[in-house]
Structure 1
Amino acid sequence: MRDIINAHLFPVLGAVSTVTLIGIFLQLDAALSNDAQRSQQAKNHNACVKDIMALAIDEKPNVLDRRGIAGAVRYCNGG
């Protein structure tokens, strides 16, 4: 019985654990990549808001309500 376990069970368990670890690694890699994309999007959005806020009142886009940061955020969101 012990020979069957050594010959079959341990290699199968080793293969299953290897596949599991690779799957976990791939999921973590995808999650970290998504976080990096969100971080870059937030950086771009913040730069847009700062640029809009820095414009003179007569240079701001007409769609902007020209009333502060809320209008700049709405404009940079595309709304």
Structure 2
Amino acid sequence: MRDLLNAHLLPLLATVSTGTLVGILLIVDAGLSNLAQNSQQAKNHNACVYTIMNIPANQRPGSIELNGMAGAVRYCNGG
């Protein structure tokens, strides 16, 4: 019985556990990658809003209909 465990069950359990760990690492890596992309998108959006807010009113693009932050956010969102 002990030989059966050593020869078949333990290598099978090791393979399953290694596969599980690799799967978990891939899921965590994908999650971190998505967080980095979202963080960069937010950084770009905030920079756009800051830039639009600091442009003098007579130099702003004509498509900005609202004044203040609401207009800047709408412009940076593509609206």
TM-score of the alignment, normalized to the shorter chain, above 0.5? yes
More helix by proportion, 1 or 2?
Answer: 2
- After superposition, residues 2-21 of structure 1 pair within 5 angstroms as 2-21=2-21
Q: How many residues align?
A: 79
* Counterpart Cα distance in 1 of 2:13 and 2:71: 59
Q: CA deviation at 1:66?
A: 3.9
Q: CA deviation at 1:77?
A: 0.6
* Counterpart Cα distance in 1 of 2:17 and 2:41: 36
Q: CA deviation at 1:62?
A: 1.1
- Percent identical among aligned pairs is 62
Q: CA deviation at 1:60?
A: 1.0
Which position in structure 2 is the counterpart of 1:44?
44
Gaps of 5+ in 2: none
* Counterpart Cα distance in 1 of 2:8 and 2:63: 70
Gaps of 5+ in 1: none
Which position in structure 1 is the counterpart of 2:78?
78
* Counterpart Cα distance in 1 of 2:65 and 2:53: 12
Aligned-CA RMSD value: 0.9
**CA deviations over 1:24-52 (Å, ceiling 9, x no partner):** 10111111111111111100000000000
Matched, 1:22 2:6: no
Q: CA deviation at 1:2?
A: 2.2
* Counterpart Cα distance in 2 of 1:66 and 1:59: 14
